[in-house]
Amino acid sequence: MLPFTTNGKNHEIAKILKIIGQLSLPLSTRGNIAIESLHQKKTKLTNNLHDLIVPLISKDEAARMQVILKAQTFAVYPILVGSHTLGVLVIGLEKSVADLSQSERETLHELIDVVGLAIERSQIYASLQRANKKLKELDQMKDDFVSVASHELRTPMTAIKSYLWLALDGRGGKLTEKQKYYLDRAYISTDRLIKLVNDMLNISRIESGRITIEMNKIDIQQLVQDVIDEVKPRADEVKVKVTLDQPQKKILPVLADPDKIKEVLFNIIGNSLKFTPEKGTITISFESKEDGHVIIHVRDTGRGIDEKDMGTLFTKFGMVEGSYVTNKKASGTGLGLYISKSIIELHKGKIWAQSPGIDQGTTFSFTLPYYKKGDKVVIKPEKSVEDRKLGIIHSGI
Amino acid sequence: MKNPAKILVVEDDGTLRDIYTNLLKDEGYQVDSAFDGSHALEKMRMGGWDLVLLDIMLPDIDGYNIMNALRDVPPSKPVGPIVFLTNLSGEDNVEKGLEKDGVKGYWVKSELTPGQIIQKVKGLLAEYRK
């Protein structure tokens, strides 16, 4: 509210304001009304500029400045946000405070409130930015730790797994039934431990957004068939039949990352295999939806899921009671469905489970979007990760 | 075994080095090993290997950089297929590994039983050895 008139003294006024703006006083200074206002949280008035800048500027110099500023009165307002004082706002007035009209007073108060809020916001923003930066650093540290730790853990686990395998293979001599049984259990647990480490590394990657989904135009029917072929030996072992319910019409291609969708199918089918008794079946079927997506159902004739366990199914370590038994059938990590859910959600799809009740089987279902013309895809040779000889990755179709 | 294949195992972990070298020796192969990057590079540069199983996380030079060094100064005698045998997983690492000239596979140790390793070794040797 300083009068920036065009009388040719603007330059001098600006110079004085700059000088005042650069002054710095300790908060313990006595006899300065700006500091007093700050401490007492009270509005202060003065007719002398000197009261505001004491003891840094002499009385004579302050008087000279005040003449150039053409200010009669200075009002010092504490800027309060809640009970917290952020600073003071000094307003120089051409007339004395008593001469201010009601509307001028109101405008002044509103201005002070707005200034207070603006300063508070900027401070909150700055502290949020600091907190955000810190969180990102911590997240990176966690990722690095998980990555290194999982590598370090795998080395001794590989040694244990290898020696157990060699012993079970009879390379250390013939084993008694009991020895075989003990070693077999140790081997299964080691494998489970390795899987747990892998899953945790996967989750760390998914949660930090470092997982890369490479979208492709996929023949989902073929992909499901490939997965069925791959799980067949395991299914035969536990005497469960895995079949594909052939759709009447060819299923249109979907937009998905084939390796990731295979992982989801392995998880779901693997789960069904654990809970389906001998002579049971697992059936995979497709349900085409008008609004641009297909639902893939995996139905088993297993023991079903109790209503009360449905909620924890897709959560981290959300294992259904009694599902961790150290035998070849059930040795889950409790992370598979959580990872599957994360993967499907990265595809903008949904995943859910339904069960009519105990001993009435379970159906796991997930959706995938159909491929649309113009969808961006990554072209990659279709080989398993292990032996994939790298091709050049092209973008576009 | 007549004229057994010569295999180099590069592995810094003593236990795993024992497992792999003994496993391959039992199969009748002629096996040598290296426990760090510089020894591995020296032995690989001498050439004459039918197969190299190369770890990635090594105390001095990592497996990727061994391959880079080998590309810059090629071995005096030809080296057969090189396979990364590592516990470093993750798609980015696999891609990076398979990009290297001469690398024919990326095997994750913890995922493989000794039996599977033997099978894979036999397969690769059959494919590349004249």
pLDDT at B20 over 90: yes
Q: Say yes or no for a CB contact (<8 Å) between A154 and B99.
A: no
Per residue in A152-174, pLDDT (tens digit) is 899 999 999 999 999 999 999 99
Residue (of A91, A90, A92, A86) closest to A116 by Cα position: A86
Q: Does A383 touch chain B (CB under 8 A)?
A: no
A118 min Cα distance to partner chain B (Å): 45
Q: Say yes or no for a CB contact (<8 Å) between A162 and B87.
A: no
Query: Which burial class, exposed, middle or buried, applies to B22 when counting CB atoms under 10 A from its CB (0-12, 13-18, 19+)?
Result: middle
Q: Does B16 touch chain A (CB under 8 A)?
A: yes
Q: Is residue B130 part of a domain?
A: no
Q: Which position has the higher pLDDT, B34 or A189? A: B34
B128 min Cα distance to partner chain A (Å): 15
A376 min Cα distance to partner chain B (Å): 20
Q: Is residue B14 part of a domain?
A: yes
Intra-chain end-to-end CA distance of chain A, in Å: 63
The overall pTM is greater than 0.80: no
- Per-residue model confidence (pLDDT) at position A374: 81
Q: Say yes or no for a CB contact (<8 Å) between B107 and A386.
A: yes
- Per-residue model confidence (pLDDT) at position A183: 95
Q: Does A3 touch chain B (CB under 8 A)?
A: no
Q: Does A148 touch chain B (CB under 8 A)?
A: no
Q: How would you classify the pairing of strands B82-86 and A254-256?
A: unpaired
Q: Say yes or no for a CB contact (<8 Å) between A155 and B113.
A: no
User: What counts of helices (H) and strands (E) characterise chain A?
Assistant: 9, 12
- Per-residue model confidence (pLDDT) at position A154: 92
Q: CATH number, domain at B83?
A: 3.40.50.2300
Q: Is residue B113 part of a domain?
A: yes
CATH number attached to the domain at A10-100? 3.30.450
Angle at the Cα of B85 from the Cα atoms of B82 and B86, rounded to 5 degrees: 140
Strand (E) or helix (H) holding A153: helix A102-168
- Per-residue model confidence (pLDDT) at position A118: 84
A263 min Cα distance to partner chain B (Å): 14
Q: Is residue B90 part of a domain?
A: yes
Structure tokens at A15: 């110079």
Cα separation values, B15 from A125, A156, B6, B112, Å:
54, 8, 21, 16
pLDDT at B62 over 70: yes
Rg for chain B, CA atoms, rounded? 13
Q: Does A388 touch chain B (CB under 8 A)?
A: yes
Q: How would you classify the pairing of strands A293-300 and A281-289?
A: antiparallel
Domain assignment of residue B17, given as a range: 6-125
- Distance (Å, whole) CA A270 – CA B9: 35
B23 in Cβ contact with B9 (< 8 Å):
no
pLDDT at B130 over 70: no
The fold adopted by the segment(s) A214-395 is: Heat Shock Protein 90 (3.30.565)
Q: Does A158 touch chain B (CB under 8 A)?
A: yes
A248 in Cβ contact with A207 (< 8 Å):
no
Q: Is residue B99 part of a domain?
A: yes
In the A/B pair of chains, how many CB contacts fall below 8 A?
65
Question: Which residues from A are below 8 Å from B89, CB to CB?
Answer: 150, 198, 201
- Per-residue model confidence (pLDDT) at position A332: 64
A78 in Cβ contact with A85 (< 8 Å):
yes
- Per-residue model confidence (pLDDT) at position A70: 85
Average pLDDT over residues B80-100: 89
Task: Name the DSSP letter for residue A185.
Answer: H
Q: Say yes or no for a CB contact (<8 Å) between B98 and A388.
A: yes
- Give chain B's domain count: 1
Strand (E) or helix (H) holding A110: helix A102-168
Q: Give the percent of chain B with pLDDT over 90.
A: 76
- Per-residue model confidence (pLDDT) at position A318: 66
DSSP letter string, A78-104? EEEETTEEEEEEEEEESS-GGG--HHH
Q: Is residue B1 part of a domain?
A: no
- Per-residue model confidence (pLDDT) at position B33: 97
Residue (of A94, A124, A331, A362) closest to A234 by Cα position: A331
Other Cβ atoms within 10 Å of A233 Cβ, number = 8
Q: Where in chain A is the domain with CATH 3.30.565.10?
A: 214-395
Q: Where in chain A is the domain with CATH 3.30.450?
A: 10-100
Q: Which residues of chain A have pLDDT under 50?
A: 1-7, 324-330, 380-397
B108 φ, ψ (degrees, to nearest 5): -95, 115
Q: Does B14 touch chain A (CB under 8 A)?
A: no
B contact test, residue of A143, A153, A157, A162 with most B CBs within 10 A? A162
